[in-house]
Amino acid sequence: MNKEVTSKKVFIRTLGCQMNKHDSEAVLGLLMNHGYELTKNRDEADVFLVNTCSVRKHAEDKVYSMLGELRKLKKKNKHDSVVGVIGCMAQKDKKEIFKRAPNVDFVCGTHNSHKIPEIIKSVIEQKAKIEFTDMDKQVFISPTLSSRENKSSAWISIMKGCDNFCSYCIVPYVRGREVSRPLENIIQEVEELAYAGYKEITLLGQNVNSYGKGLSKKIDFSDLLELVHKIKGIEQIQFVTSHPKDISLKLIDAVVNLEKVSRYLHFPLQSGSDKILRLMNRGYTLSHYIEIVNRLRERIPEIRLGTDIIVGFPGEEEEDFEQTYQAMKKIEFAQAYMFKYSPREGTAAFKLKDDVPQKIKKDRLDKIIKLQRFVSNKKRA
């Protein structure tokens, strides 16, 4: 790697999911290889990066308010600092970001992170605003050992993008089509991590269960788990996120038989109403989901289950919400991430009328948060 001698300091703020946190580690690794140092102090940074999320509007609003704060900071003490917006919102809003936040120097989308050191150099040399948001090719870049935030537990990206097109979700549009990472690269990275002393790994992807699609070697996610399981030194293997429609009997067998695989499984239900699941384009019914839960619990009694839930999706009536509430009560998730529906332009659901009033969305969310608090405490007791 071409090392440049600079003493520039980079500050990075990350919003959103684990995938984003992992991408930030990778970008940081690249910058460190170009001589940058990480700083946790905004006041001393030469480069500010905001790694953004566009899953809900709230996350985007946060980015703009953060960029506003940086503008004040830049005026106060760092006139020549570089501000870059990267990740999902960069991909979605592209040049629009320059209009809403004129202090931004560059915008770099989800498929161009590997170019960030070059982009910063060009911004400084050419004193110009730069945008890279083409989506021609998914590139996997890994963090370096020193850019990984956690020194005992490591994230490893096994696939990027998503082909599911759940009707509410912006991810397939901003992260692109699903691409699996070649097996050899994954195995090599896990071996290196094991050698460096890592005991715990988490395999990351928007939809890990469909790993292998499009690869020249015929392999699926259960095969990958088996291979990773053989690597000496690794004691615990986790994976996120699983799609219920892709949880196969073979995968359940793998989880049963591979003792290093975590007994926590995150596979989002989203709604307990079949009508809403259909509108969401999720590809399963509540009874199919419960069948998987029962099968998992029969085979692995100690298994803990996690979910994501959206309330207030268009057309969600009281009885639909009640079905979600009852499903959560019946299934007893160990963990649940719960959200109010947020319309995202460009998605299929955006064409539906956002007809559940904010107040009702909030009441429904409060209700399931309260229920989940009770269930989580009960399960912990």
Binding site for ligand SF4 (CB under 6 A): 162, 164-166, 169, 171-172, 206-207, 243
In the block, residue with structure tokens 């384009």: 281
Rounded to whole angstroms, how far apart are CA atoms 157 and 203?
A: 6
350 binds ligand 5AD (CB under 6 A): no
Residue 36 CA: distances (Å) to CA of 10, 21, 52, 87, 128: 7, 19, 21, 20, 21
SS3 call for 185: helix
Q: Is 31 or 166 the residue whose CB approaches ligand SF4 more closely?
A: 166
Can you tell me which of 140, 168, 173, 221 binds ligand 5AD, judged by CB under 6 A? Answer: 168
209 binds ligand 5AD (CB under 6 A): no
Q: How far is the CB of 327 from ligand 5AD (least distance, A)?
A: 14
In the block, residue with structure tokens 């009441």: 363
SS3 call for 103: coil
| Residue 88 CB-half CA count within 13 A | 28
Rounded to whole angstroms, how far apart are CA atoms 189 and 142?
A: 8
SS3 call for 88: helix
Q: Is 81 or 238 the residue whose CB approaches ligand SF4 more closely?
A: 238
310 binds, among ligand 5AD, ligand SF4, none (CB under 5 to 8 A by kind): ligand 5AD
Alpha helices in 3-83 (DSSP H): 18-33, 57-76
Q: Is 16 or 117 the residue whose CB approaches ligand 5AD more closely?
A: 16
172 binds, among ligand SF4, ligand 5AD, none (CB under 5 to 8 A by kind): ligand SF4
Q: Is 264 or 339 the residue whose CB approaches ligand 5AD more closely?
A: 339
Q: List all residues 6 or more positions away from 24 whose beta carbon is below 8 Å from its beta carbon.
A: 12, 14, 49, 51
Name the closest residue to ligand 5AD (Cβ). Answer: 308
**Strands 304-311 vs 179-180: parallel, antiparallel or unpaired:** unpaired
- Scanning 173-181, 258-266, 281-289, 340-348 for contacts with ligand 5AD by CB under 6 A, the matching segment is 340-348
55 binds ligand 5AD (CB under 6 A): yes
56 binds ligand 5AD (CB under 6 A): yes
**Do 84 and 120 touch, CB atoms closer than 8 A?**
yes
How is residue 357 written in tokens? 């009033």
Q: Is 29 or 314 the residue whose CB approaches ligand SF4 more closely?
A: 314
- Which DSSP helix (H) or strand (E) runs through 125? helix 116-126
322 binds, among ligand SF4, ligand 5AD, none (CB under 5 to 8 A by kind): none
| Contact characters 91-130, ligand 5AD, x per CB under 6 A | ----------------------------------------
Task: Give contact residues for ligand 5AD (rule: CB under 6 A).
Answer: 55-56, 168-169, 268, 270, 308, 310, 339, 341-342, 344
